Chains A and B, each alone.
Chain A
Amino acid sequence: QVQLQESGPGLVRPSQTLSLTCTVSGAFVNSGGHYWTWIRQRPGEGLESIGYIRFGTTHLNPALKSRVIISVDPSKNLFSLDLTSVTAADTAVYYCARGVTDHTSGWSWFDPWGPGTLVIVSS
């Protein structure tokens, strides 16, 4: 059973860097069959894809691309999100998830998800 768990500070000061990790159990982050993704949800709003990493290559939401770094640490079996120069608009619940791809059809979906972690940007 694959499980993901986000961790990181719940409070970040404006202009600082938000750093989160997602620890994976039941699967290997350096396995070729999956990709690893971050999603966020601002309070009371919908879901926004931040980006994902696959085979060491990242694919980032253009709206956030200049501020986002996603990386993988196979030695700890986790992947990370760094979001720089945060503002109050970055206050959200951040989710990590495994991306699954059917290599025959190209279909892809996110499953499972971590429980999420709330990050508040405030001074």
Chain B
Amino acid sequence: DIQMTQSPPSLSASLGDRVIITCRASQTISNYLNWYQQKPGKAPKLLIYATSSLQSGVPSRFSGIQTGTDFTLTISSLQPEDFATYYCQQTYSAPFTFGPGTKVDIK
């Protein structure tokens, strides 16, 4: 199985901050990388697919890029509704594994 890692495991940020979350795969996954947002007690919600494609209806403050073997999710200006846990997922090879998550909370 492809192992996914994320950093940091958690972070505290203020409204308006720029937040960057990084994800790395244990082997090449090309650009088969998705990002999900999960709020407590709710199902994950797709934010970005194929590394950088914004899902319909997702605010443009969310963006994703790939730099070498690292994938990053950026929230350009943190809003109150963005406090949540974020997961990356590779769909290059089954089983489609997820990262352990990054929890974003209020500073």
Q: Which residues of chain B are within 8 angstroms of A110 by Cβ–Cβ distance?
A: 34, 36, 44, 46, 89, 96
Task: Kindly identify which residue among B43, B55, B96, B98 contacts A108, using a CB–CB cutoff of 8 Å.
Answer: B96
Please determine whether A111 and B50 come into contact, CB atoms closer than 8 angstroms: no
Please determine whether A49 and B96 come into contact, CB atoms closer than 8 angstroms: yes
Q: Mark A31-59, 1 if CB is under 8 A from B, else 0.
A: 00000010000000011110110000001
Please determine whether A109 and B34 come into contact, CB atoms closer than 8 angstroms: yes
Given A46-B98, A48-B98, A49-B97, A109:B91 Cβ within 8 A: yes
A109 to B48 alpha-carbon distance, docked (Å): 9
A111 to B31 alpha-carbon distance, docked (Å): 18
Given A62-B1, A113-B43, A115-B43, A49:B95 Cβ within 8 A: yes
Please determine whether A62 and B95 come into contact, CB atoms closer than 8 angstroms: yes
Q: CB of B45 within 8 A of chain A? A: yes
Task: Kindly identify which residue among B49, B97, B100 contacts A109, using a CB–CB cutoff of 8 Å.
Answer: B49
Within 8 A of B (CB), among A88-110: 95, 102, 105-110
A89 to B71 alpha-carbon distance, docked (Å): 31
Please determine whether B55 and A46 come into contact, CB atoms closer than 8 angstroms: no
A60 to B32 alpha-carbon distance, docked (Å): 19
Please determine whether B45 and A113 come into contact, CB atoms closer than 8 angstroms: yes
Q: CB of B101 within 8 A of chain A? A: yes
Given A46-B100, A49-B98, A62-B95, A109:B46 Cβ within 8 A: yes
Q: CB of B83 within 8 A of chain A? A: no
Chain A positions near chain B (C-beta within 8 angstroms): 37, 46-49, 51-52, 59-63, 95, 102, 105-116
A sample of 12 more A-B contacts (CB under 8 A), given A47-B98, A63-B1, is A47-B87, A49-B98, A52-B96, A59-B94, A59-B95, A61-B1, A95-B43, A105-B50, A106-B32, A107-B50, A109-B34, A111-B49
A-B contacts, 7 of them at CB < 8 A, read: A95-B44, A107-B31, A107-B53, A107-B91, A109-B89, A110-B34, A110-B36
Chain B positions near chain A (C-beta within 8 angstroms): 1, 31-32, 34, 36, 42-46, 49-50, 53, 55, 87, 89, 91, 94-101
- Rank and list the top 5 A-B pairs by shortest CB-CB distance, nearest first: A113-B43, A109-B49, A108-B91, A107-B50, A111-B46
